[in-house]
Amino acid sequence: MTSTLSIAFRHPVVRLSMIAIFLFGFTGAATAPYQSVIGITELGLSNGIYSIMIFAAAAVNVIVSLWVGILADRIGNYRILLMTVMSFGILGYGLVYAVPVPASFVFCTLVMLPVYNAMTSLLFANVRAIANMEGGRDAAAINSGVRAAISVAWVLVPGLVALVLAGRGSMLPAYLLACLGCIANLALVFFKLPATDGPPPAKNHRHSFVASFGEVLAPNVFARLMAVSLITSTLHVNAAVQPLIITGAAGGTLTDIGVVVGIVAFLEVVFIFIWARIQVHMRAVTALAISAGLYAVYLTLLGLASAPWHVYALTLLSAFAASALISIPITYIQDLISDRPGLGSSLISVNLFLSGGISAILFAIGTRFSDYSGTSMLGALAGVTGLGLMLFLDGRNGGVHRHR
């Protein structure tokens, strides 16, 4: 852990990026747990409209992330783009809090906040550009350090926000806290982040929007993206079925859900750094394959759980494998288009969209023909399928085939 942190903190821009990604995680962790409550319960949206809105917002985020990533490669200046998307966050969160009506909530969720969420890709592109300038040797450690900052936010913030807002009749102040977090982040970037770390790249044909989208859809890139999306869809499946299994087949309570989630979140922060050390001596494909296999085993055992202690006993395995699945794919995905930090990092959002869609399909099929336990096992099968596809594509050539 110490070695990973020392690598991540070595460069001042990476240190700033870690703080910025923590503040970004703060805004998400402060609002995401309460978004559905605010939209449906407090503002009166129907379940159907809310579901459509969430899907549309995810699609908008993918499009914006790709566009911003391409633009970042064209101009070579992450500072301007970061401040721009942060401004969307300030306006989006602030408008929901200041004007709490369905129209403002829908507009901000569909337009303002998806643009703000492109910040993830920009920050990882920024640190990847730094790693590339230093030879790329420390990319995994840097990514792990930055990714851990998000996890720390999700460990600390939801409980603190719940404590601050306890006893209030509305959860809308969570959006005010997120707005303040965006303002702090904007000030950090404006006053501390250098304008650029190097000259902008040549604006050749490859950096055009059409050519860039063509690179994303190239078979050797998209097939690998689908493989890793199948693997990471297991995280979404677990998020959907674990609480239902705990309170259903395992016979647990709502308290058990909170305790299990808290334990896993805490352990994930620790294990992210352990996996970063492991990757020093292991290819990303190998590490991803091991973690995908372990998580498939976990989902299978979760599907067999029949008592609360079964789920508690699985927390160590779950956290160890999950910590790899939320950190290692970042490096793997960026390596698909390694010489385009902006475009390569925007694939992170594409992966989130694809894996979320796959998990929704798996949940629908699993609950239609089985129960929540069976759905957990179906998720394990999807993970194994993605693992097999990844090994077929990259298991024999010693690493990711980089598209140039």
Residues 355-404 have pLDDT tens digits of 988 988 998 899 889 899 999 999 999 999 999 999 999 876 655 555 44
pLDDT single digits (tens) 9-50: 667 778 888 899 999 999 998 888 788 888 888 898 888 888
Q: Taking residues 292-303, report their average pLDDT.
A: 96
Phi first, then psi: give them for residue 95, nearest 5 degrees.
Answer: -65, -40
Distance CA 173, CA 168 (A): 9
Q: Are residues 24 and 167 in the same domain?
A: yes
Mean pLDDT on 179-185: 97
- Give the CATH number, domain containing residue 13: 1.20.1250.20
Exposure class string for 177-195: b at 16+ Cβ within 10 A, else e:
bbbbbbbbbbebbeeebee
Domain that holds residue 349: 205-395
Mean pLDDT of the chain: 85
Mean pLDDT of 42-69: 88
Per-residue tokens: 157: 């913030």
102-153 pLDDT, tens digit each = 999 999 999 999 999 999 888 888 887 777 666 555 666 677 777 778 878 8
| Same domain, yes or no: 104 and 230 | no
Count other C-beta atoms under 10 Å from residue 38's C-beta: 21
> Is there a single domain that holds both residue 391 and residue 283?
yes
As a whole-number percent, the residues of the chain with pLDDT over 90 amount to 41
Of 155, 173, 196, the one marking the end of a domain is 196
Domain boundary among 196, 227, 243: 196
Please indicate, yes or no, whether residues 174 and 219 belong to a single structural domain of this protein. no
Q: How confident is the model at residue 199 (pLDDT cuts 50, 70, 90)?
A: very low
Query: Do 143 and 271 share a domain, yes or no?
Result: no
Estimate to the nearest angstrom the gap between the alpha carbon of 303 and the chain centroid.
Answer: 25
Identify whether 404 is part of a domain.
no
In the structure, what pLDDT confidence band is assigned to residue 91 with cuts at 50, 70 and 90?
A: very high
Task: Classify residue 99: in a domain, yes or no.
Answer: yes
pLDDT of residue 189: 92
User: How far apart, in whole angstroms, are the C-alpha atoms of residue 361 and residue 359?
Assistant: 5
Tell if the pTM clears 0.85, that is, is over it.
no
Residues 71 and 148 in one domain: yes
Which of 196, 226, 247 is the endpoint of a domain? 196
> What pLDDT is attached to residue 198?
45
Q: What is the CA radius of gyration of the chain?
A: 20
Do 158 and 181 have their domain in common? yes
Q: What is the DSSP letter of 290?
A: H
Instruction: Judge if 189 and 220 occupy the same domain.
Output: no
Residues in contact with 134: Cβ distance below 8 Å, sequence separation at least 6, in sequence order: 11
Q: Residues 225, 182: one domain?
A: no
The number of domains in the chain is 2
List Cα–Cα distances, 249 to 16, 81, 241, 305, 375, in angstroms: 45, 48, 11, 7, 13
In this prediction, residue 404 carries a pLDDT of 46
Distance CA 145, CA 392 (A): 30
Inside any domain, residue 403: no
195 vs 109, more confident: 109
| Same domain as 169, residue 246 | no
Same domain, 26 and 164: yes
- Indicate if 219 and 191 belong to the same structural domain: no
